[in-house]
Structure 1
Amino acid sequence: MSILVYFIAPMIAVTVVHLIMHAKYKNSEKIDKGFVFIYHKLTYRRKFIRSLWNIPIFTLIFLGVYWSTNLTSTEYMIFAMICIFLFLLDFLYTFVKWRKSEKGSFNQV
């Protein structure tokens, strides 16, 4: 059985949960202080900080996949590039949205 089968079901589940949480907290007040478990309740500044905290988590996930699977070196490289691309995409998106929301709040004052 291909390793892709093990990724398809979790990706579908994560996507469904993400869409439900996004719809539930779309128009709610965002929190900028204190601990918040739910990602969708955070401001873009806090989402950016949380994405920085994900660097060690992504590293541990990659090392866990590396040690527990028998993939070829090409498959490991593809997996690493996908992880890096997803991290950079999230990182840049939250940074841009944080700066836009910060600029918008200064114009309102």
Structure 2
Amino acid sequence: MKISEVAKKVNLSPVTLRYYEKMGLIPPVQRQQGVREYRIEDLNWINFIKCLRQVQIPIKDLKQYTELFYQGKKTKPARRQILVKELLRLENQEQKLQATIQRLKNKIRLYDKDEID
């Protein structure tokens, strides 16, 4: 697949895809006569990185994860640790977010009951 097709499928711009490749967040894409030719494996990797970027996982962590991936199976524990660290961070954020949501709901109920000035 060409970069324009992939960009539509993953809802990212071609510029972003090139940036991800340049930064080492996605594997170098094979080229045919200088034109990027994306494979299904590339799409899967892009979707994984996109998912992690949506929750603000730092680029440096994603780059480290990708570099470790290319070093092979011996890096599985280190890669797992990166994911565990990010999961814990996200769960902590989720708890804070849920507390804020609940507080807002309570405040709105007070407005609905006209119990607030």
Normalising by structure 2, report the TM-score: 0.38
Which structure has greater helix proportion?
A: 1
Give the structure, 1 or 2, with the largest relative contact order (CA under 8 Å, sep 6 or more). Answer: 1
Between Structure 1 and Structure 2, whose CA radius of gyration is higher?
Answer: 2
What TM-score, normalized by structure 1, do the two folds share? 0.40
